[in-house]
Amino acid sequence: MDADPDPGPSDSADGEREAMRVRLDKADAEDEHRERSQRLDRRFELGEAVLLSIAALLAAWAGFQSSNWSGVQDDLYNQASASRAEASQASGLANQETTIDVVTFTQWLQAGQQEGSLDGSVAAGEGYVPDRAALSGFLYERFRPEFKVAVDAWIAAQADGDPPPTPFAMAEYHLEANDDAARLEADAERDAAAARQANGHSDKYVLMTIMFATVLFFAGISSKMDTAKARVFLIGMGVTVLVVATAIVLSFPKEL
């Protein structure tokens, strides 16, 4: 039986070339994989940078709006406090005017009864003619204009048989200071309600700032992940939160 011939130099060269080709193909495959990974990393980094930039900008806007609405709230509360102070002053003035009217009316009534100037002619509805030389006439001339209207109406009502006991029960007795106090108190309540509403807007923008900070968290942690799936998931979560938060912010009132 003949022995196998020894491999010649050409066979050895072919084997080496084949091995070299395999190594080159493997190196090319590794280079291509590395380039693909680098391109994917750059895309992820670009997406994360865009996400971070948008979220940071919107977070700053939400903080700006929250600060502005806080300023509006402070201004409105200050206006409400000033209106309440003025309402208190007007109410105090009304009380003083009422006291003056009560005192002067009591003195006028006593003086008229002593002088006999409030006689049956008044009860008959014939009116009252003040005597300036008498104390009652002196007091009558010094009634406040608002009160004098009520006194004249009360005197005229004596002929009805069942008049109110005093002019203070007449519809004609009306104090402008009371109207001012009521108007100022209503202004204060309106400003206070608007201030509470502004505070609510400010709180909502603070909440949106937290949501945009959540987007920053997702984008930041994504850059630390080693797998593409994890990065896609985190970036997707960030985009979802960003879209929802942006839609909510656009529905809020703006204060510039």
Q: What is the pLDDT of residues 92-118, one digit of tens each?
A: 999 999 999 999 999 998 988 888 777
As for how many domains the chain has, the answer is: 1
Q: Tell whether 256 is covered by a domain.
A: no
150, 70 contact by CB (below 8 A):
no
Cα 187 vs. chain centroid, distance in angstroms?
Answer: 17
Q: Tell whether 75 is covered by a domain.
A: yes
Q: Tell whether 41 is covered by a domain.
A: no
102-117: b (≥16 Cβ within 10 Å) or e = eebbeebeebbeeeeb
- What the block records as the tokens of 104 is 């002067």
Whether the pTM exceeds 0.85: the reply is no
Q: Tell whether 38 is covered by a domain.
A: no
Q: Tell whether 240 is covered by a domain.
A: yes
Q: Tell whether 35 is covered by a domain.
A: no
Domain extent, residue 96, equals 50-250
Half-sphere exposure of 52 (CA within 13 A, CB side): 12
110, 193 contact by CB (below 8 A):
no
Q: Tell whether 4 is covered by a domain.
A: no
Q: Tell whether 128 is covered by a domain.
A: yes
Query: What tens digit of pLDDT does each residue of 143-185 get?
Result: 999 999 999 888 888 777 677 888 999 999 999 999 999 999 9
